[in-house]
């Protein structure tokens, strides 16, 4: 127990506990046979910035991990870092003003490693600031040989099962990054301004070689020109055919005709295909290799030629003739100008396009035909495994299903980069030998560009010269085995992890690839539950942006209030799966709640000591039984919410209980006993208070780890860390006590509120109070604490109070009487004030007017000219205040 200061100072407390927790094993995974709760923690890219969206996901994971430690699970909460990939390479190139090819491969990789280490350090500092409870003994970096050796092992096993293969195939290609990328790495930007070009293709006359022998005597047939519409004139050199819809009557007799590609001169044939849209442009489109995936489908289905005119770095090659060397954008402009100059360009019009872009650099992607490594995608198997996972919320499964069923190509996993897991393969250099050696498990980890294969002679040709694969793996090949790695595969038999927490924006990548890989390698699901978080929007409801002025870093909220306040705001933002709106008022409210918790703890610590606690059979009063029953009930309910990952509902219910039931009601009820009660009664209150407060701190600890640790440490009856304690198991639910307690608490609050409104001191004595409950409790209500709280004897009665409302005073309204009665106003007012209030009340109610005997005449006064003041009188005739509450009618006697 430590002495508690009057005020809680998070600037002092939070750094203190961060340091102390580093020396404690409270978050350490024991692996001792207890029920495991294993978090498949997302390894973030080490950007150096743990932004607020990251923080939301880690808050969810930390809430769950801390809760499951409290309920007795052996929790493994590791932390990984997804080090490899384009973002790091691009940043290193920018920082050093180089291209990766300007320095040796191993030197560039080392530059990436050093940069990544710095970024990791910055993000770990933020994680510590926010109080996350990872077990740092289980930290991993995908750039470490131990990890990428495991990635290589997974590659080898899938290759052995013929699930990894190498082939030439059209792939998405980023000209900026100069690498293949998977479908999931292509972001589509809608509504991009573009231009639709209407271009004439001249008909190609049939020559004698193209006509059949039976037509040899016929005259050459002239083919009429055709007009096509395209948004990409820069692909004219790659045009290999044209397509129209078979039902488009405009081209019914033209299928099979040949045309000359303008500017480039080669001939192409018009084909019919149902995928062609007759409503687009002229209904005729060119097929190029490749403008989009539709081109790829047509190219494969109709066995068309391959004419590749784009280079890997986004220029036109020699097959583009005089346009060779131009960038794609430059070629678009020059070719369009030349089409216009040569008379081929009939018209242009603005249009909007959907453009696929590289998700890392926003460069429009191209489709190139390249030798690449692929992983086979079995959509049915992925969905079958995904259906065995509990998705939270459930509809997030639909996103995975939509993506999976829409997959058109296998997963291209090779990248033409440096900083990534090497593909463990070598190519035999003997002429005409196509053998590829893939490393065996004993050769791993291996860097094929630095080391030779584990065999000397090629098994197919006997050659002994090898070239290592320079391509590396997609970074998702690393992060898609996190559950396998965390569970000790391949040394240990794989068991699914418990929880995968991630954002909905990477369901199509991380969730999809992990289901694919774990299923194929371990024939199992990767995790039992998938908890999905949404995005965090700014206070104005818009996506956070520095230009909008709504951008918030977690550290800002910590500096302004505290880490605990920020964490609670994240919990209360909304239920998992929904996008949440960051609101400063929520952080401020959480900070105020922290002050409330501290004040309760400070008050309690002054009354609690071990000598008076844990005595057998305490003499609990109704108020004690009520708070203990409520604590028991809240602990069960909050646990249910936590089990369902409804952190918002759990924290909201807990805060309501602590703020109102414990602080506002119970503490006020027991102050009399704590200060002046007999020893047995005071000790019972102390024990109930200690139980309820300790339980509250434990329940709150997943959300506010710093505050609860400091408060728990300051109580005399607690030992060790609150985070190593047990979840409350009170088992004192008492329905009768709750009915009585709710009545007592409400009456106390109502009477104290009435005193405040009436300007009466809260400690002022009252003659007595009678309470008439709406529903009479089955047993007598113990009013000892209630009497002390309101400073009056309290009697709980059955039935309806015998009270009548008696008129006692008449208040004439001069603004109504004056204008109507003029000089008689004085006499009228005097007569009203002298009249019997009961008689005036009756006349007003029955007739709507009052007759006044003025002696020589009778005056009739309108009912709205008087106000009748009434008082409640008890059956004894005593004046009484009647106050209605939700649960009872309260009679307050105060002469």
Structure token pair of residue 745: 């608490």
Strand order in the sheet with 436-438: 436-438, 425-428, 466-468
Neighbours of 560 (CB within 10 A): 14
Q: Is 546 annotated as a binding residue?
A: yes
Element (H, E) at 63: helix 52-70
Q: What is the 3-state secondary structure (H, E, C) of 749-777?
A: HHHHHHHHHCCCCCCCCCCEEEEEECCCC
The SS3 call for residue 349 is: strand
The SS3 call for residue 334 is: helix
The SS3 call for residue 493 is: coil
Neighbours of 568 (CB within 10 A): 27
Give the closest residue to 703 by CA, choosing from 139, 133, 136: 133
- Longest CA–CA span in the chain (Å) reads 141
Q: Taking a C-beta distance cutoff of 8 angstroms, is the pair 668, 789 a contact?
A: yes
HSE-up of residue 646 (Cα within 13 Å, Cβ side): 11
Q: Taking a C-beta distance cutoff of 8 angstroms, is the pair 879, 892 a contact?
A: no
Eight-state DSSP code of residue 327: B
- The H helix count followed by the E strand count for the chain is 25, 33
Neighbours of 552 (CB within 10 A): 18
Residue found by looking up tokens 């009545």 in the block: 743
Q: Taking a C-beta distance cutoff of 8 angstroms, is the pair 527, 500 a contact?
A: yes
**Any alpha helices (H) in 469-621, and if so which ranges?**
475-479, 482-486, 512-522, 554-560, 563-572, 584-605
Cis? peptide before 490, omega within 30° of 0: yes
Question: Which residues, 6 or more positions from 536, have their beta carbon under 8 angstroms from its beta carbon?
Answer: 52, 53, 56, 544, 573, 579, 580, 581, 582
Q: Taking a C-beta distance cutoff of 8 angstroms, is the pair 788, 760 a contact?
A: no
Q: Taking a C-beta distance cutoff of 8 angstroms, is the pair 51, 556 a contact?
A: no
Q: Taking a C-beta distance cutoff of 8 angstroms, is the pair 228, 282 a contact?
A: yes
The binding site comprises 546
The binding site for ATP comprises 546
């Amino acid at each position: 127990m430590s002495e508690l200061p009057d005020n809680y100072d998070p600037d002092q407390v939070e750094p203190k506990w961060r340091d102390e927790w580093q020396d404690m094993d409270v978050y350490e995974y024991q692996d001792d046979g207890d029920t495991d709760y294993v978090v498949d923690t997302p390894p973030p890219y080490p950007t150096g910035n743990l932004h607020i969206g990251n923080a939301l996901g880690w808050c969810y994971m930390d809430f769950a991990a801390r809760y499951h430690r409290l309920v007795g699970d052996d929790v493994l909460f590791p932390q990984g870092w997804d080090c490899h990939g384009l973002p790091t390479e691009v940043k290193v190139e920018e920082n050093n003003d180089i291209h990766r090819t300007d320095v040796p491969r191993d030197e560039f990789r080392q530059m990436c490693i050093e940069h990544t280490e710095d970024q990791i350090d910055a993000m770990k500092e933020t994680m510590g600031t926010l109080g996350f409870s990872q077990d740092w003994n289980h930290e991993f970096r995908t750039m470490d040989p131990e990890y990428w050796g495991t990635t290589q092992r997974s590659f080898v096993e899938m290759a052995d099962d013929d699930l990894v293969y190498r082939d030439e195939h059209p792939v998405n290609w980023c000209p900026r990054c100069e690498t293949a990328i998977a479908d999931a790495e292509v972001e589509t930007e809608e509504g991009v301004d573009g231009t639709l070009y209407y271009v004439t293709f001249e008909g190609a006359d049939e020559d004698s070689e193209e006509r059949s022998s039976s037509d040899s005597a016929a005259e050459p047939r002239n083919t009429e020109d055709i007009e096509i519409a395209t948004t990409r004139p820069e692909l004219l050199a790659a045009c290999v055919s044209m397509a129209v819809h078979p039902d488009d009557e405009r081209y019914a007799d033209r299928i099979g005709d040949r045309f000359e590609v303008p500017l480039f001169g080669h001939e192409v044939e018009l084909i019919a295909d149902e995928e062609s849209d007759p409503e687009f442009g002229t209904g005729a489109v060119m097929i190029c290799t490749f403008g989009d995936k539709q081109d790829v489908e047509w190219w494969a289905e109709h066995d068309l030629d391959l004419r590749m005119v784009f280079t890997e770095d986004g220029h036109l090659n020699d097959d583009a003739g005089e346009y060779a060397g131009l960038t794609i954008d430059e070629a678009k402009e020059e070719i369009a100008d030349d089409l216009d100059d040569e008379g081929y360009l009939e018209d242009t019009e603005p249009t909007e396009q959907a453009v696929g872009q590289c998700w890392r650099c926003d460069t429009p992607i191209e489709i190139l035909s390249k030798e690449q490594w692929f992983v086979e995608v079995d959509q049915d198997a992925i969905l079958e495994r995904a259906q065995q996972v509990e998705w939270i919320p459930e509809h997030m499964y639909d996103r995975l299903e939509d993506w999976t069923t829409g997959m058109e190509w296998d997963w291209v996993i090779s990248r033409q980069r440096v900083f990534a897991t090497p593909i463990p393969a070598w190519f035999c250099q003997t002429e005409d030998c196509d053998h590829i050696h893939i490393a065996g498990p004993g050769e791993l980890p291996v860097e094929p560009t630095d080391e030779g294969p584990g065999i000397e002679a090629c098994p197919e040709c006997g050659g002994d010269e090898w070239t290592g694969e320079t391509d590396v793996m997609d970074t998702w090949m690393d992060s898609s085995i996190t559950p396998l790695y965390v569970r000790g595969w391949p040394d240990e038999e794989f068991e699914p992890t418990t929880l995968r927490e991630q954002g909905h924006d990477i369901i199509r990548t991380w969730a999809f690839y992990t289901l694919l890989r774990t299923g194929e390698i371990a024939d199992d699901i990767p995790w039992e539950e998938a908890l999905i978080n949404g995005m965090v929007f700014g206070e104005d409801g818009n996506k956070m942006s520095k230009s909008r002025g709504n951008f918030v870093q977690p550290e800002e909220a910590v500096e302004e209030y505290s880490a605990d306040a920020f964490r609670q705001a994240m919990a209360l933002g909304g239920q998992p799966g929904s996008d949440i709106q960051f609101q400063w008022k929520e952080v401020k409210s959480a900070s105020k709640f922290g002050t409330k918790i501290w004040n309760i703890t400070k008050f309690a610590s002054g009354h609690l000591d071990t000598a008076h606690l844990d005595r057998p059979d305490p003499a609990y009063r109704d108020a004690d039984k009520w708070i203990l029953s409520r604590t028991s009930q809240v602990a069960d309910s909050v646990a249910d919410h936590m089990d369902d990952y409804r952190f918002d509902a759990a924290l909201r219910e807990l805060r309501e209980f602590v703020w109102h039931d414990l602080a506002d009601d119970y503490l006020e009820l027991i102050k009399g006993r704590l200060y002046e009660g007999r020893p047995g009664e005071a000790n019972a209150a102390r024990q109930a208070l200690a139980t309820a407060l300790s339980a509250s701190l434990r329940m709150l600890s997943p959300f506010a780890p710093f505050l609860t640790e400091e408060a728990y440490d300051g109580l005399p009856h607690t030992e060790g860390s609150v985070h190593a304690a047990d979840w409350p198991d009170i088992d004192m639910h008492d329905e009768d006590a709750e009915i009585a307690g709710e009545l007592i608490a409400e009456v106390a609050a109502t009477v104290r509120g009435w005193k405040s409104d009436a300007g009466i001191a809260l400690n002022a004595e009252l003659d007595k109070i009678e309470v008439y409950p709406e529903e009479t409790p089955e047993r007598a209500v113990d009013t000892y604490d209630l009497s002390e709280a309101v400073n009056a004897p309290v009697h709980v009665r059955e039935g309806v109070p015998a009270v009548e409302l008696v008129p006692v005073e008449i208040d004439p309204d001069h603004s109504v009487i004056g204008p109507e009665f003029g000089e008689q106003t004085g006499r009228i007012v005097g007569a009203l004030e002298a009249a019997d209030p009961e008689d005036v009340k009756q006349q007003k109610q029955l007739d709507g007017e009052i007759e006044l005997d003025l002696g020589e005449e009778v005056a009739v006064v309108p009912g709205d000219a008087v106000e009748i003041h009434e008082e409640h009188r008890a059956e004894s005739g005593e004046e009484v205040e009647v106050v209605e509450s939700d649960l009872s009618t309260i009679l307050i006697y105060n002469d």
